[in-house]
Amino acid sequence: MMADGGGEAGEVPPPPLEGLQLVQQGAEARLYRGRFLGRAAVAKLRFPKRYRHPALEERLSRRRTTQEARALLRCRRAGISAPVVYFVDYVSNCIYLEDIVGSTTVRDYITSVQQSGKDTSNLFLLAEKIGEALARMHDEDLIHGDLTTSNMLLRPPAEELDLVLIDFGLSFISGLPEDKGVDLYVLEKAFLSTHPNTDMLFEALLKKYSTTSKKSSPVIKKLDEVRLRGRKRSMVG
Amino acid sequence: MFINTLGLAVVYWFKTNPLFCYKMQHFTHQLELFPDCSVTLILFNDVKNAAALRKKAMEGSIDGALINPAMIVDPFQILVATNKAVHLHRIGKMKTRTLYTEIIFNLSPNNNISDALKKFGISDSDSAVLIVLIEDREKTVNLDGIISEVEGQQVSLTELHKITDTAKVKKMYKLTPQEEKIGTLLDGIICRMSTKDTA
């Protein structure tokens, strides 16, 4: 996520939490860490984008915040690990969530295992865990919308592969295999571009997805179709 | 010298350990988002006058929220409900008529106000009562006054787990079996409380 320039972001004050630290400045929102109501928490503050018309801005931010909160609840109800929501502030479009203290992103974990040259069999297990979690998520008709390995966390110790999904700002509800296929396609592109030589890993992920999800075959079919559609792909003939 | 340092360490541990911020048995927390506002929780057991207290609460003569502690799993649950209530109160968007009924309503996993007040508020036959008091620039809290109104034994918040009716709580919040695998009962409760207006 590229930083969007201090301009509009600088006008929105950070939440007054104890021990506040800015963790990440994204294109859409700023992530802070701090203590909230006696617990380690993360505050995700969506800030206004000045190039947007104010009416649209208000609605869009509000909608993304709502969708995120709703998706997190749906995930948990389905047994998919996602942060607990502590408080949703619809005025400043800020969500206060559980902080997974000491977590590692799946992205960092894969990179470090590959770089260390250690045994990669754990990576295959991780791929299966991801496939399984996504299958359960899609079976709930929940589309993440922004699947990347940076949006997946591992609770400490990382080797135990206790997966937590995060960042549901672009999520929505849909039963369509097309939407689920696209969700997987987004992950595939992100996965293969961020982590070189991981084709087999991703294949293992998809395999586990297919065996876990009850509605997987139309989804995989759509995934194949979408792959053919992608950028720089000729749709001729 | 060593004894001194040890003594200091013990005192330091007591003062910073969250369990011991329960001065005199009650529990106070200053709301981060509303720094002028602090929340105090007082727990009573062996209460004899629940009916009279409930009447006073309905009349508005008790300046606090009277909650059934059997439905409460952890003080955090109350803090989450209170934080949301104060937030909505300050922007004039409460769903109920008073700050105290709003706190009780926020504990509920659904949007039915009268059901929430019945299930989470106290009933005439209750023998335990949890009182939530709010103090801000406009209002100071008369702790001793409130305590004197209750015919019962004030106990520390650490005793809460003995009073909680876990079966009743599980039934009320309807946690799914899959959910129990990925988190605690409290996690499931908090999630429902904070996102019930998105459902």
Residue of B nearest to A80 (CA): B182
Contacts for B109-115: CB closer than 8 Å, 24+ residues apart: B109/B172, B109/B173, B109/B174, B109/B189, B109/B192, B109/B193, B109/B196, B110/B196, B111/B196, B111/B197
Nearest to A77 among B29, B84, B179 (CB): B179
Residue-wise pLDDT for A110-149, tens only, equals 999 998 887 788 999 999 999 999 999 999 999 999 999 9
Give the pLDDT of residue B23. 47
Residue whose tokens read 């904070």:
B194
The tens digit of pLDDT for each residue in A11-30 reads: 678 887 777 888 888 888 89
Q: List the catalytic residue out of A146, A162, A183, A224.
A: A146
Tens-place pLDDT, residues A63-92 = 889 999 999 999 999 999 999 999 999 999
pLDDT score at A5: 42
**By CA distance, what is B34's nearest residue in A?**
A16
Q: What is the dihedral of CA A53, A67, A151, B32, to 10 degrees?
A: 90
Cis amide prior to A157 (ω within 30 degrees): yes
User: How far apart are alpha carbons A227 and A220 in whole angstroms?
Assistant: 10
- Higher pLDDT pick, A118 / A108: A108
pLDDT by residue for chain B (199 residues), tens only, comes to 666 667 666 666 655 554 444 446 889 999 999 999 999 999 999 999 999 999 999 888 888 999 999 999 999 999 999 999 999 999 999 999 999 999 999 999 999 999 999 999 999 999 999 999 999 888 888 888 999 999 999 999 999 999 999 999 999 999 989 999 999 999 999 999 999 988 6
Partner residue facing B176 (CB), from A79, A81, A84: A79
Mean pLDDT of A177-197: 95
What pLDDT band is residue A7 in, cutting at 50, 70 and 90? very low
**pTM, whole model, 2 decimals?**
0.87
Specify the residue for token string 């709003």: B102
What is the pLDDT at residue A26?
A: 81
Would you call A89 a catalytic residue per the annotation? no
Helix (H, G, I), strand (E, B) or coil at A189: helix
ipTM confidence: 0.86
B-chain residues near A36 (CB < 8 A): 32
